[in-house]
Structure 1
Amino acid sequence: MAGRPREFDRDKALESARDAFWTRGYEGTSMADLVAALGIASARIYAAFGSKQQLFREAVGLYEANEGGFALRALAGQPTARQAVDKMLRDAAETYTRPGKPQGCMVVTAATNCAAENDAVRDWLTGHRHKQTESIVARLDRGVADGELKADTDTHMLGDYLATVMHGLSVQARDGVVQARLLAFIPLAMQAIDAALANQVESRSEDV
């Protein structure tokens, strides 16, 4: 008599899928890879998640709700824009180099280049990156409104710069650059914020 099929833990399967996609990207992760990572047959994967693309979207959602949510948490949780940006960049360096996890940012690396049939996945992730930049700009705008940043600060340009720094940290981490080197870069990146501060004398002693 055949044994009963192994009980399916959907949450655990989603975690495994997240790590597979995070490591190899959307196109680089085949259905055979997912079968091996999740330990269940492809038919059960389709039954539980609908499609590879839907599984990927859920995996990204899981990433953003946990490891990948550090940026929004930093932007919302610090009393000043400078402290928020500093924490965001430091948390990025730490998250992207966490032991036992894939390196870099899943949203940055998982689908930067795709075949034409996967343009929807690439565009969806692009939208996520744009939303993160918008969140940075919104926090800088609040810094201007609070009088922390100069009234003439170009928050869109500064937000684009900080998003570029974040993406660069992700690529460096993916290439094996160690956490200490990434953290050492952050004071240099923070000079752009310091230049925009309304009271630059007091600010330079923060976070040293």
Structure 2
Amino acid sequence: MPQPTRGRPRAFDRDRAILDAARLFWRRGYSGTSTRDLTTALGLSTSSLYAAFGSKAGLFEEAVRTYAERYREIYRRAVAEQDLRTVIDQILIHSVHEFTQPSDAHPGCLLSSAAMTDSTSTLDTSAHYTELHGWNERALHARIERAAQDGELVAGTDVAALTGLVQSVVHGLSVRANLGTSREDLLTTAHLAHELICRQLTSPTP
């Protein structure tokens, strides 16, 4: 009589593993997430986890960089647009969509996670996020400065202040998203903010 065969092990999905790990890190912090927690959530043995990511610290670093870099990509694409109205629109609207990703595809916002107040010797999460935020702000500032030189802005516009205004709106939308505000409501706010901010631009030539 043939012996029953054992079920095939679950195929390793690196993206899913990073997402599941990020959820734990975001909720519990680095120190509060044990290797056992990770292997249980990911369905991996300790040896398989180490083979895939090198260590718990390696998995944490990859999770932070994977999800934080998505915000950098929003700015990278937006500042390549031809007019400043579109640049600002893309930053606000795409940020809202990123903040409100469904939970099965996104671990949540890193800014308000436990990982931001935790510490690890391999990756200073707050420092990485600060670097990312600085890159985004510099990219936007440079783009607004170019718009001023091209005559898109009212003469005398404070480029730094306008940059700060856009960034403040983005961060406010993030906070409201974390408090459970719906995507629809956030988009309504983003569209209104875009309209008000763009009043600082010069009127388009007929």
Question: How many residues are paired up?
Answer: 197
**Where do 5+ consecutive residues of structure 2 fail to align?**
1-5
Aligned counterpart, 1:80: 83
Q: Report the equivalent of 2:63.
A: 59
| Superposition deviation, residue 89 in structure 1 | 0.6
Aligned to 1:206: none
Matching residue of 1:185: 189
Aligned AA (1:48): A
Question: Which structure 1 residue ranges, 5 or more long, are not aligned?
Answer: 204-208
Over aligned residues, Cα RMSD in angstroms? Answer: 3.2
- 1:32-111 equivalent positions in 2, closer than 5 A: 32-64=36-68, 69-76=73-80, 78-100=81-103, 101-102=105-106, 104-106=108-110, 108-110=111-113, 111=115
Aligned partner of 1:135 in structure 2 is 139
Paired with 2:16 and 2:106, the residues of 1 have a C-alpha distance of 17
Instruction: Determine if contact 2:144/2:159 at 8 Å carries over to the other structure.
Output: yes
The residue identity in structure 1 corresponding to 2:59 is L
Q: TM-score scaled to structure 1, two decimals?
A: 0.75
- Whose helix proportion is higher, 1 or 2? 1
SS at match of 1:152: coil
Higher-RCO chain (CA-CA 8 Å, sequence separation at least 6): 2
Q: TM-score, normalised by structure 2?
A: 0.76
**Residues 54 and 192 from structure 1, CA distance in 2 versus in 1: closer, same or farther, beyond 3 angstroms?**
farther
Residue 33 of structure 1 and its aligned partner are, at CA, apart by 3.1
Structure 1 residue aligned with 2:202 = 198
Superposition pairs for residues 120-159 of structure 1, below 5 Å? Answer: 120-159=124-163
Query: Structure 1 residues 153, 181: closer, same or farther in 2, change over 3 A?
Result: same
- Residue identity over aligned pairs, in percent, reads 37
Per-residue Cα deviation, 1:35-61 (whole angstroms, up to 9, x for no partner): 222211234323322333332222233
Q: CA deviation at 1:10?
A: 3.5
User: Which has the larger Rg?
Assistant: 2
